[in-house]
A and B are shown apart, each in its own frame.
Chain A
Amino acid sequence: MDLTLSTDQRDLRDGLRAFLRDAWTADRLRAAADSPDLDRGAWRALADLGVFGLEVPESDGGMELGAAEAVLVFEELGRALVPGPLVATYLAAALLGRPGAATGATVVTWADRTAPVQVVEHLAAADEVIAAGEDGLWALPAGKVAGTPAGIPLDPLTPVSHVVELPAGDPVGRAAAWRDRGAVLTAALQVGVAQGALDLAVRYAGEREQFGRVIGSFQAVKHLLAESLVRVDLARAAVLTAALTLDDPAAGDLAEAVAAAKILADDAATAGGRCCVQVHGGMGFTWEVLAHLYLKRAWLLETGFGEPGVHAERLADRM
Chain B
Amino acid sequence: MDLRYSDEELAFRDRLRAWLAETLPQLPPAPDRDDWPARRAYDTAWQARLHAAGYAGVDWPAEHGGLGASPTEQLIFLEETARARAPYVGANFVGLLHAGPTLIVAGTDEQRARHLPRILRGEEVWCQGFSEPDAGSDLAALRTTAVRDGDHYVVNGAKVWTSHAEVADHCELLVRTDPAAPRHRGITWLILPMDAPGVRVRPLRTVVGSSEFSELILDDVRVPVADRVGAENDGWRVAMVTFSFERGTAFIGDVIESRNILAEVARLARATGTAGGTLWDDPGLRREVGRLAAEVTGLWALARKNVSEAAAGMVPVQGASVFKLRFTESRQRIGDLAARVLGRASLAMSDLPGAGNGRLVEDRVNTLSFTIAAGTSQIQKNILAERVLGLPKEPRWTSP
**Residues of A near any B CB (own CB < 8 A):** 1-6, 9, 68, 198, 202, 205-206, 213-214, 216-219, 221-223, 225-227, 229-230, 233-235, 237-238, 240-241, 244-245, 248, 251-252, 256-257, 259-261, 263-264, 308-309, 311-319
Is A308's CB under 8 angstroms from B291's CB? yes
Among B155-163, B226-234, B304-312, the stretch in contact with A: B304-312
Known: A206-B391, A229-B322; 11 extra A-B contacts, CB below 8 A, are: A1-B9, A2-B312, A3-B1, A226-B385, A229-B385, A230-B322, A234-B295, A234-B322, A251-B2, A257-B301, A316-B293
Is A230's CB under 8 angstroms from B325's CB? yes
The residues of B that contact A1 with a CB separation of less than 8 Å are 2-6, 9, 72, 304, 307-308
| Complexed CA–CA distance, A264 and B378 (Å) | 22
Say how far A7's CB is from chain B's closest CB, in angstroms.
12
A-B contact pairs, 16 of them (CB 8 A): A1-B9, A3-B305, A3-B308, A206-B390, A222-B381, A222-B389, A226-B381, A229-B384, A230-B326, A241-B297, A309-B287, A312-B286, A312-B287, A316-B287, A316-B290, A318-B293
| Complexed CA–CA distance, A234 and B327 (Å) | 10
Q: Using CB atoms, name the residue of chain A closest to B383.
A: A226
Chain B binding surface SS class? helix
Say how far B336's CB is from chain A's closest CB, in angstroms.
16
Is B290's CB under 8 angstroms from A264's CB? no
B65 at the interface (CB under 8 A from A): no
| Complexed CA–CA distance, A5 and B5 (Å) | 17
| Complexed CA–CA distance, A4 and B380 (Å) | 24
B394 at the interface (CB under 8 A from A): yes
| Complexed CA–CA distance, A214 and B302 (Å) | 32
Given A222-B385, A244-B2, A235 and B391 touching (CB < 8 A)?
A: no
The residues of A that contact B297 with a CB separation of less than 8 Å are 238, 241, 256-257, 260, 315
Task: Give the most central of A4, A213, A252, A314: most B CB within 10 Å.
Answer: A4
| Complexed CA–CA distance, A9 and B1 (Å) | 9
| Complexed CA–CA distance, A311 and B391 (Å) | 36
| Complexed CA–CA distance, A6 and B318 (Å) | 20
The residues of A that contact B263 with a CB separation of less than 8 Å are 319
Q: Using CB atoms, name the residue of chain B closest to A265.
A: B298
Given A2-B308, A256-B297, A248 and B3 touching (CB < 8 A)?
A: yes
| Complexed CA–CA distance, A217 and B3 (Å) | 39
Is A6's CB under 8 angstroms from B1's CB? yes
Is B378's CB under 8 angstroms from A223's CB? yes
Is B287's CB under 8 angstroms from A235's CB? no
| Complexed CA–CA distance, A227 and B377 (Å) | 10
The residues of B that contact A312 with a CB separation of less than 8 Å are 286-291, 293-294
The residues of A that contact B318 with a CB separation of less than 8 Å are 233
Is B385's CB under 8 angstroms from A223's CB? yes
Is A235's CB under 8 angstroms from B298's CB? yes
| Complexed CA–CA distance, A219 and B137 (Å) | 15
Contact pick for A4, options B1, B9, B283, CB 8 Å: B1
Is B299's CB under 8 angstroms from A205's CB? no
Given A312-B286, A314-B290, A319-B289, A214 and B3 touching (CB < 8 A)?
A: no
| Complexed CA–CA distance, A205 and B389 (Å) | 10
B346-400 contacts to A (CB < 8 Å)? 378, 380-382, 384-386, 388-394
Is B385's CB under 8 angstroms from A225's CB? yes
